[in-house]
């Protein structure tokens, strides 16, 4: 399956009111894994992440810490960057909304839309949730009158504000979503976005895009009225083009439109407000919006710092290892659905697959080769090769299909079909019994299984990048295809080597 010539992948920019947790890590590691996949497959890739640094919440969080908003955002933004660097996230750019390059683009786009007549000043009264940084409708509140995401009651606010003519663009956004089924995925979120558009049309309200400086000064000043700063979405969403140097930078020309990855709690602004903004500014719409579910902590409640049930990614990495964490996140969550996170779930998944199925296959196959041959001989062909190649043909097709649909869980499942076949072959042929009778098929069998194992690691490379590096340092082999469709794509010459330490020792409560 072919890949696009170019791919622009973005995470949401993370709000700097708290340090990064597992939810942020999942989105970022997923995007990094997919960026690696597309790069390996031949796409020209640009991967963007960053931090969202303006708004009411930031001012309050900074005040609580005894810092200025700039000092506070510098500190928290650096935590995100340090975390991603520690986890070897290979982003191409890290955008901050407090950067001049971003502010310039925000003012430019606001001016374009204002001059077009799509921004106006009016009085407004509404229920404002500081956590969401937006006004909520009565229907959006729970039975206690609280924001369902932050479990706090919104504040009734009356003030003058600038509004974006959202109603003018809602039918156009709806039409685009209906005519382009892959614009938002999975389908449940596409349907949710269409339902939200219908509700917005019924309400007949436009979108508030500013805050008066009398109430908030920490924001980007409107280019046409210095007594207001812009609202968080008209600031934050524009990061996706400001990072590319819109409108005339080579990166923008080369990579836009983007493939956005978000969690479901910010579906509405990305699926509705953002396309409307792009239409108003006469900027081409993004390529695709992929929406994932939540990681659920104790009590099956969404992980969040405010609720105190968020897992720390650096602590997890120290306990599990970076590749094990990356593998678990990619394997456990069915993209679009919620997934549970607990110590028991992590240990079970990693021991069942990463240690037993994958790591042990590599370890025991190489150990038997070194035991019976005292070195790694050239690969030889065994009767199982023909059936193995047939499996690989199917696996390669499904692997690419599932990766390009963000179903990393199913892509890994394809590779496990191969490891399953190889493990079964070991149990059926019993190389230890073959060795007792000096069976001439022993080394052909073992080198065929070992070559199949290396092929599996080639497919798992986006998920296990550090393991792949260890593997290539351990064994000198030639890879003729990035994602091999037959065993002959992996070759090596006879070489002496020592038995390596296990890549993935079994995980226990102690080391977790």
* Confidence class for position 310, pLDDT limits 50, 70, 90: low
What average pLDDT does the structure give for the chain? 93
Residue 377, domain member (yes or no): yes
Please enumerate, as own/partner, the contacts of 469-474 that have beta carbons within 8 Å and a separation of 24 or more. Answer: 470/503, 471/503, 474/500
Give the model's pLDDT for residue 306: 47
Which pLDDT score, from 0 to 100, does residue 1 have? Answer: 66
> Does the pLDDT value for residue 448 go beyond 70?
yes
Q: Which domain holds residue 376?
A: 343-491
Residue 247 lies in a domain: no
* Beta partners for residue 47, in sequence order: 9
Q: Is 202 exposed, middle or buried (0-12, 13-18, 19+ CB in 10 A)?
A: exposed
Which pLDDT band holds residue 419 (cuts at 50, 70, 90)? Answer: very high
Q: How far is CA 153 from CA 129, 134, 146, in A?
A: 7, 13, 4
Structure tokens that stand for 414 in this block: 């394809």
* Residues comprising the chain, all counted: 512
User: What's the confidence (pLDDT) of residue 125?
Assistant: 83
Can you tell me the distance from the alpha carbon of 273 to that of 58, in angstroms, rounded to the nearest whole number? 22
Average pLDDT over residues 51-59: 92
Of the pLDDT bands very low, low, confident and very high (cuts 50, 70, 90), residue 19 is confident
Give the burial class of 222: count Cβ atoms within 10 A of its Cβ; 0-12 exposed, 13-18 middle, 19 or more buried.
Answer: buried
The pTM of this model reads: 0.92
Is 191 inside any structural domain?
A: no
Element (H, E) at 45: strand 44-52
Q: How confident is the model at residue 129 (pLDDT cuts 50, 70, 90)?
A: confident
Lookup: tokens for 511: 């080391």
**What CATH number should be reported for the domain holding residue 362?**
1.10.730.10
Query: Is 441 among the domain residues?
Result: yes
What's the rounded mean pLDDT across residues 114-130? 91
Relative to beta strand 259-263, strand 6-10 is: parallel
Identify the band that residue 300 occupies on the pLDDT scale cut at 50, 70 and 90: low
Instruction: Give domain status of residue 153, yes or no.
Output: no
Q: Looking only at Cα atoms, what is the longest distance across the chain?
A: 90
Mean pLDDT over residues 82-95, rounded?
97
Residue 215 in any domain: the answer is no
Active site residues: 21, 24, 129, 132, 147, 150, 302, 305
Residue-wise pLDDT for 183-218, tens only, equals 999 999 999 999 999 999 999 999 999 999 988 899
DSSP 128-172: EETTTTEEE-GGGS-TTS--TTT--PPEEEEEEEEEE-HHHHHHH
- Number of domains composing the chain: 1
Per the domain annotation, does 426 fall within a domain?
Answer: yes
Is 457 inside a domain boundary? yes
pLDDT above 60: residue 367: yes
pLDDT of residue 307: 42
Average pLDDT over residues 353-366: 96
């Amino acid at each position: 399956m072919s890949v696009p010539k170019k791919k622009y992948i973005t995470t949401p920019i993370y709000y700097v009111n708290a340090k990064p947790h597992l939810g942020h890590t999942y989105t970022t590691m997923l995007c990094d894994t997919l960026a690696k996949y597309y790069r390996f497959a031949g796409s020209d890739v640009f991967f963007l992440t960053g931090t969202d640094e303006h708004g009411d919440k930031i001012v309050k969080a900074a005040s609580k810490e005894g810092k200025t908003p700039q000092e506070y955002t510098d500190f928290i933004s650096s935590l995100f960057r340090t975390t991603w660097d520690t986890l070897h996230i290979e982003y191409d750019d890290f955008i901050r909304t407090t950067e001049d390059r971003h502010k310039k683009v925000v003012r430019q786009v606001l001016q374009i839309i204002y001059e077009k007549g799509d921004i106006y000043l009016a009085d407004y009264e509404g229920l404002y949730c500081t956590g969401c940084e937006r006004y909520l409708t009565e229907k959006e509140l729970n039975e206690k009158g609280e924001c369902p995401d932050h479990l706090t009651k919104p504040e009734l606010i009356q003030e003058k504000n600038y509004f974006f003519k959202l109603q003018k663009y809602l039918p156009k956004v709806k039409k685009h979503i209906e005519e382009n089924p892959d614009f938002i995925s999975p389908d449940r979120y596409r349907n949710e976005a269409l339902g939200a558009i219908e509700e917005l049309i019924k309400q007949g309200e436009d979108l508030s895009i500013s805050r008066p400086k009398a109430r908030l000064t920490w924001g980007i000043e409107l280019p046409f009225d210095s007594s207001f700063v812009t609202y968080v979405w008209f600031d934050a969403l524009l990061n996706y083009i400001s990072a590319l140097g819109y409108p005339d930078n080579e990166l923008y020309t080369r990579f836009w439109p983007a493939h956005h990855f978000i969690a479901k709690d910010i579906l509405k602004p990305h699926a509705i407000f953002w396309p409307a903004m792009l239409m108003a500014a006469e900027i081409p719409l993004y390529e695709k919006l992929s929406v994932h579910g939540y990681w659920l902590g104790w009590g099956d409640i969404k992980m969040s710092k405010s609720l105190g049930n968020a897992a720390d990614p650096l602590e997890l990495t120290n306990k599990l290892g970076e590749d094990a964490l990356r593998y678990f996140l990619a394997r456990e969550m069915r993209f679009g659905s919620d997934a549970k996170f607990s110590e028991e779930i992590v240990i079970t998944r990693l021991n069942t697959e990463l240690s037993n199925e994958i790591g042990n296959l590599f370890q025991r196959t190489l150990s038997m080769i070194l035991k019976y041959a005292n070195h790694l001989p050239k690969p030889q062909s065994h009767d199982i090769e023909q059936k193995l190649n047939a499996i690989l043909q199917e696996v390669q097709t499904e692997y690419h299909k599932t990766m390009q649909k963000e179903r990393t869980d199913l892509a890994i499942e394809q590779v496990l079909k191969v490891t399953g076949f190889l493990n079964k072959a070991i149990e059926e042929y019993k190389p230890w019994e073959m060795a007792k009778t000096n069976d001439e098929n022993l080394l052909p069998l073992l080198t065929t299984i070992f070559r199949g194992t290396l092929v599996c690691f080639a497919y798992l490379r986006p998920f296990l990048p550090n393991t792949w590096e260890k593997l290539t340092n351990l064994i000198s082999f030639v890879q003729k295809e990035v994602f091999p469709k037959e065993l002959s794509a992996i070759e090596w010459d006879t070489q002496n080597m020592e038995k390596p330490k296990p890549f993935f020792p079994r995980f226990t409560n102690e080391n977790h």
